[in-house]
Structure 1
Amino acid sequence: MSTDPWQLLDDAGKVLVVHAHPDDESLSTGALLASLTAAGAHVELVTATRGEEGEIVPGAIAEDEDRPLELIREAEIDAATARLGLAARHVLGTPPALAPGAAPRTYRDSGMQWIREGLAGPSASAGSDSFTHRPLEEATEDLIALLEHVRPDVVIGYDDEGTYGHPDHVRAHHVTAAACARAGTVMLEVSSAPEPAASAGFHRRDHPGTAEAVRAAVDSYRTQLTVLGTDAEGIRIRHVGGQDDLVALRTGLRVRA
């Protein structure tokens, strides 16, 4: 098997990408996914949680809105994935991303709190149905069921740092790695570092021509962020917590050994 992740992607006809929450697909891999679909690849997405614990940008939801946040975020992710050109999206624990014979199950957003500098953990209110607290084996079996349904040539997931260490991202990494190992499917890991190190096995690629699609996808998440503008580096955003960030138009990937 090639150790060049981009060669594997270039040769792939069908790709599955695994993320933790609505908006992660656009923030972490938007340019990558837009470039893949523009090149004709069949790309499907599975999201572990519905983002129930997300904060809300003030004024983003009308005062007379009676839908719960997870339904509002479902509409946001539908809009974002359409902008990126994805062929289908799934929710872990819901068919076809459900182990045979199992009753449908919900992996609730775990929320996040900083345990100490540089180490994140689930929020204190995370219950037994949260993604980080439900048995790892359940989520792994559900993802294997989806792999058998989709039969992707490659799977794209987080590296072991889970972007910024969100516990749901880290959990998604472990679930994806376990499911791919058992199913015999190639896993490609997205670098958490903005400038991935070749010494760690990462190979970087720019995604020219994707800015418009990525900006539209990111802008779908009005409850979570505000788009500030676009420049040569990517899409400038401000998160609900006030942190400014860049949605880059490049990706570092490596093949999971």
Structure 2
Amino acid sequence: MNTTVAEWFGGAKRVMFVHAHPDDETIATGGTLAALAEAGCEPLVVTLTRGERGEVVAGPLEHLAGTDSLAPHRQAELAAALAMLGVERHAFLGVAPARAEGLQPTIYEDSGMQWQADGLAGADPSAGTDALTVVPAVESLTDLLAAAHEANAGAIVSYDDGGGYGHPDHVHAHRIARAVAHALDLPFWEIVNDVAGDDIEHHDVSPWMDRKVIALRAYATQLTVEGDEIVHVGGQRQAISQVEAFRLLGIAKRLTRKCAAPPRWIS
């Protein structure tokens, strides 16, 4: 934890974060995003779906659950959270610049999930034909590859191979993000719990906790902030960590890109 922000992720410029749904970027990597943004490192966030099938916290917004209004509301929550974190570069997968050249824009829908006996999330058999995990994987893969090219990404961050807690969209995010990193010879960093190990990079994000907490509060449909904990829509409690940890799985065969001309990106 003694490294400076500029040295995080091997000193890569324009690290691309691949997240499944609005709120994942803040819960798992919000402090790191805020730190990189403040340091001028231009973090890039690609969100794969709009969280159409998410549950909604009981209260004034619960009427949005299961309606067509939930997706645009979650998009607005995402925009507010990114603004609080200082992140200016974002795209939804399927929309330029995160869309393969020559293809019309598309929307990858939330695949949904079911809790399993082992306590992890699993696939929901009712996922629609436009769901992220139902559409042929080559399409989302080529879209993410286009995003990485366009952004001149120097490293890629996403979940571990279990998707953190098993959600099929998170698992898919890991697979395509790691495949793109391999194809482009980029370092791939997986998000892990605050564990020990020589292969783990720990980020002390305590100086950016105010921004992280404010960004979390933007997600009123998905969670509630109580003190130093998140209360998820299902009632699960999770500490808001002041340390965010990442494991390096892939090392580029060439030097990590440092500085380059600003990429074309959408805010």
The offset of 1:184, in angstroms, is: 2.3
> What is the CA deviation profile of residues 98-124 of structure 1, one whole-angstrom value per residue up to 9, with x for unaligned ones?
111222222110111134414432223
> What is the CA deviation profile of residues 220-256 of structure 1, one whole-angstrom value per residue up to 9, with x for unaligned ones?
00011111013xxxxx111111111112121111222
**SS of residue paired to 1:184:** coil
Match of 1:70 in 2: 71
Distance in 1 of aligned mates of 2:167 and 2:239: 18
Match of 1:160 in 2: 161
The offset of 1:208, in angstroms, is: 2.2
Match of 2:202 in 1: 204
- Give 1:198's aligned amino acid: G
Distance in 1 of aligned mates of 2:132 and 2:52: 11
The answer (yes or no) to whether the contact 1:204–1:251 under 8 Å persists in 2 is yes
Call closer, same or farther: CA 1:111–1:98 in 2, change over 3 Å.
same
Call closer, same or farther: CA 1:100–1:243 in 2, change over 3 Å.
same
Call closer, same or farther: CA 1:55–1:119 in 2, change over 3 Å.
closer
> What is the CA deviation profile of residues 78-111 of structure 1, one whole-angstrom value per residue up to 9, with x for unaligned ones?
0000011112110001111011122222211011
> What is the CA deviation profile of residues 126-170 of structure 1, one whole-angstrom value per residue up to 9, with x for unaligned ones?
112111111111111000101111001111111112111111101
**SS of residue paired to 2:140:** helix
Distance in 2 of aligned mates of 1:202 and 1:161: 17
- Give 1:206's aligned amino acid: D
Q: Percent identity?
A: 39
Call closer, same or farther: CA 1:63–1:118 in 2, change over 3 Å.
closer
Say whether residues 1:254 and 2:247 are aligned partners: yes
Match of 2:132 in 1: 131
Instruction: Name the one with the larger strand percent.
Output: 1
Unaligned runs of 5+ in 2: 251-267
Match of 2:253 in 1: none
Match of 1:218 in 2: 216
Which stretch shows the higher mean deviation, 96-105 or 17-26? 96-105
The answer (yes or no) to whether the contact 1:196–1:203 under 8 Å persists in 2 is no
**SS of residue paired to 1:164:** coil
Match of 1:195 in 2: 194
Call closer, same or farther: CA 1:62–1:24 in 2, change over 3 Å.
closer
Distance in 1 of aligned mates of 2:117 and 2:224: 28
Match of 2:226 in 1: 228
TM-score under structure 2 length normalisation:
0.85
Match of 2:20 in 1: 20
Distance in 2 of aligned mates of 1:150 and 1:52: 26
The number of aligned residues is: 245
**SS of residue paired to 2:172:** helix
